[in-house]
Amino acid sequence: MNDVEPGKERKPKRSGRDESRLAAIIVLAVLGTAFALENRGKTKVNYVFGSGHPRQIFVIAFCIAIGVGLGWFASRRRTGTKD
């Protein structure tokens, strides 16, 4: 039988490493948001074929998204198994 009463299930505690990682993510998210909001002006961006004048906040957000995507992809490739 189950010793835990229905409705009173225990949640697993976070380890110190998990809490540190969460705190670091929150701090980086706040700093990134503050940085992006301070840079709302337009900037010139030279593309391979032409140029444009997007707002800096979109350039920063796009670069962050690319970095997150590349980091995720790199971590997925590293955890793959070799035969």
pLDDT (tens digit per residue) in 25-37? 899 889 878 887 8
The predicted structure's pLDDT at residue 40: 81
Structural domain boundaries of the chain?
19-78
Spatial separation of the C-alpha atoms in residues 73 and 81, rounded to whole Å: 15
Split at pLDDT 50, 70, 90, the class of 17 is confident
| pLDDT tens, residue by residue, 42-83 | 888 888 888 999 888 888 888 889 998 998 898 887 665 554
The predicted structure's pLDDT at residue 38: 85
Spatial separation of the C-alpha atoms in residues 82 and 80, rounded to whole Å: 7
pTM, rounded to two decimals: 0.53
